[in-house]
Amino acid sequence: MTVIQKKPDNPIAHLTAEDIELLGKQLDAIRQSVIDTRGEDDARYIRTVIDVHRKLELGSRAVLLASGFPPAWVLGTIGLSVAKILENMEIGHNILHGQWDWMRDPKIHSTTWEWDMASPAEQWKHSHNQLHHTYTNVLGKDNDLGYGIMRVDEDQKWVPAYLLQPLWSFVNACFFEYGIAAYDLELGKVVATGQTKDPEFRRRAKEVLGKIGRQVRKDYVIHPLLSGPNFVPTLAANFVANVVRNLWSNSVILCGHFPEGVETFEKKSIDGETKGEWYVRQMLGSANISGSKAMHIMTGNLSHQIEHHLFPDLPSNRYAEIAPQVKALFDEYGLNYHSAPLHKQVYSAWHKIFRLSLPNGWLDNTTPKNLPSQLVKLWKMSTGSKATRRRLLKAEMAAA
């Protein structure tokens, strides 16, 4: 992958400025059609999901009071994992996007909602809604691309440390909520620039630590204590449920922007970007997951990532309905509507993580037959002098 502007076969080269403007108007019309018909059924939908989540969570936690009994442990852990996934994805993420603000219910509103997750809603809304959704897939602007810790593009210089990227990515996936919290805090940048004493940063860090403290106390102290003799099994169940939820949400998010074939963009390409051009960037910078209705709900309808990125504030339950109209526009304008089943998108995203952890071209040039010699080359690239590495990297690229 490389930024769209540097590609030899730029997938939007055939679109004129008028095309893009017209496309923008057609998308606006789809958006308006949903806004005009939002109503009681939609309100009932989100209230039902919230209701199901609360009952499922309560029920699972009740079952886990007997977590010393293995079947209860299994049942409670599955229930709690599903509840936590529902809460983060279909409920929290979407309410915090303001998808349900139109109901004017102060209990279900982006400005009052708090979610079961390490990052406080307020901070997440800024980094996610304002930064990621505005600068989607713009290298250097959209930190969701690799969260500032990964090599996500061939154009990023390769260094040996990236060999650890798959392992690091997996650890990040397991503890994803803490990764998000650190990332919303811009912890990496603050530490790197030595601004940890900045009072605004301190205030926000304190907020995050407070939130993490309450979350940890709930899952790893209070509920285990309530289980009495089953303290340890309940603690383990809560830990597993959090990790399952983290792995799941990480997978869904990887699928949204990271599979092979999803485009990235140059910083300067968004200077003076029109609404239509913004739409095109969202269309090409997102990927969908195809699957059943249950799967869509469990992904918080981020399986309709393309529709979500075009219209982040439309109620999530309506994405499925507009997806065919959106796809028809992709076809009309000769654009690639990127959609595949979950396992394919996850494989594709992880394949990319592996590929980019290695020098450009290395994976393509490697066959079972030449594996030993390729590994020797990789060893030399990683341990040799800078000059050696440069020479070998160049040769690898040339061979690809």
Partner 1 sequence: MTVTQPSPSSTRPRLSALRDRVFKLAELATTPLLPSDYLDLVDPLRSGAALRGRIEAVEHETRDAATIVIRPGRDWQPHVPGQYVRIGIDVDGVRQWRAYSITSVLGRADGCFTITVKAIPDGKVSNHLVHRTEPGTIVQLDQATGEFVLPQQTPDKALFVTAGSGITPVMGILRNLADDDLTDVVLIHSAPTADDVIFGAELRELAAAGRIRLVEQHTDTDGMLDAASIAALVPDLAERSTWACGPLPMLEALEQYWDDAGVADRLYTERFRPAIVAGDGEGGTVTFTANGTTLEADGSTPILDAAEDAGVLMPSGCRMGICFGCVLPLREGAVRDLRTGEVTTAAPGDGVLVQTCVSAAAGACAIDH
**CB nearer to partner 1: pick between 234 and 264:** 234
Would you give the binding string for partner 1 spanning residues 322-341, x where CB under 8 A is met? --------------------
**CB nearer to partner 1: pick between 222 and 400:** 222
- The residue within the footprint of partner 1, chosen from 8, 70, 71, 106 (CB under 8 A), is 106
Which residues, 9 to 68, sit near partner 1 by CB under 8 A? 38-44, 51, 54-55, 58
DSSP 8-class letter at 87: I
DSSP H helical ranges for the chain: 17-37, 40-64, 70-86, 94-96, 121-125, 165-174, 176-184, 187-192, 199-217, 223-226, 231-257, 275-284, 293-298, 305-310, 319-332, 342-357, 362-365, 371-383, 386-399
- The residue within the footprint of partner 1, chosen from 2, 127, 156, 215 (CB under 8 A), is 215
**CB nearer to partner 1: pick between 238 and 303:** 238
DSSP 8-class letter at 264: B
- The residue within the footprint of partner 1, chosen from 8, 9, 104, 203 (CB under 8 A), is 104
Residue spans of beta strands (DSSP E) within 25-73: none
For residue 380, with 0-12 CB atoms within 10 Å meaning exposed, 13-18 middle and 19 or more buried, which class applies?
middle
Tell me how far apart the terminal alpha carbons of the chain are, to the nearest angstrom. 14
Q: Rounded CA gap, 50 and 90, in Å?
A: 9
Does residue 320 contact residue 301 with C-beta atoms inside 8 Å?
yes
Q: Which stretch binds partner 1 (CB under 8 A): 63-71, 111-119, 184-192, 293-301?
A: 111-119
Q: Rounded CA gap, 354 and 332, in Å?
A: 35
189 closest CA partner among 162, 160, 149, 151: 149
Which residues, 130 to 189, sit near partner 1 by CB under 8 A? none
Decide if residue 218 touches partner 1 (CB under 8 A).
yes
Strand partners, 133: none
Would you give the binding string for partner 1 spanning residues 63-92, x where CB under 8 A is met? ------------------------------
- The residue within the footprint of partner 1, chosen from 101, 154, 155, 321 (CB under 8 A), is 101
CA dihedral angle for residue 246, residue 247, residue 252, residue 253, rounded to 10 degrees: 60
262 closest CA partner among 178, 380, 139, 173: 139
**CB nearer to partner 1: pick between 119 and 348:** 119
Q: Which stretch binds partner 1 (CB under 8 A): 107-115, 161-169, 287-295, 370-378?
A: 107-115
Helix (H) or strand (E) holding 289: strand 288-290
Residue 42 C-beta: closest distance to partner 1, Å: 6
Decide if residue 115 touches partner 1 (CB under 8 A).
yes
Q: Rounded CA gap, 285 and 294, in Å?
A: 25
120 SS3 class = coil
Report how many residues bind partner 1 under the rule CB under 8 A.
Answer: 33
Q: Which stretch binds partner 1 (CB under 8 A): 108-116, 146-154, 254-262, 337-345?
A: 108-116
What one-character-per-residue DSSP string does 192-239 give? HTT-TT-HHHHHHHHHHHHHHHHHHHIIIIIHHHHTGGGHHHHHHHHH
**CB nearer to partner 1: pick between 115 and 265:** 115
Does residue 263 contact residue 11 with C-beta atoms inside 8 Å?
yes
**CB nearer to partner 1: pick between 91 and 297:** 91
Residue 269 C-beta: closest distance to partner 1, Å: 26
3 SS3 class = strand
Does residue 20 contact residue 274 with C-beta atoms inside 8 Å?
yes
Residue 121 C-beta: closest distance to partner 1, Å: 8
**CB nearer to partner 1: pick between 105 and 198:** 105
287 SS3 class = coil
- The residue within the footprint of partner 1, chosen from 111, 193, 370, 388 (CB under 8 A), is 111
Q: Which stretch binds partner 1 (CB under 8 A): 6-14, 94-102, 152-160, 192-200?
A: 94-102
Q: Rounded CA gap, 360 and 154, in Å?
A: 6
- Residue 30 is encoded by which pair of tokens? 């789809």
**CB nearer to partner 1: pick between 38 and 327:** 38
Residue 303 C-beta: closest distance to partner 1, Å: 24
**CB nearer to partner 1: pick between 114 and 364:** 114
Residues that bind partner 1 (CB under 8 A): 38-44, 51, 54-55, 58, 98, 101-107, 109, 111-112, 114-116, 211, 214-215, 217-218, 222-223, 226
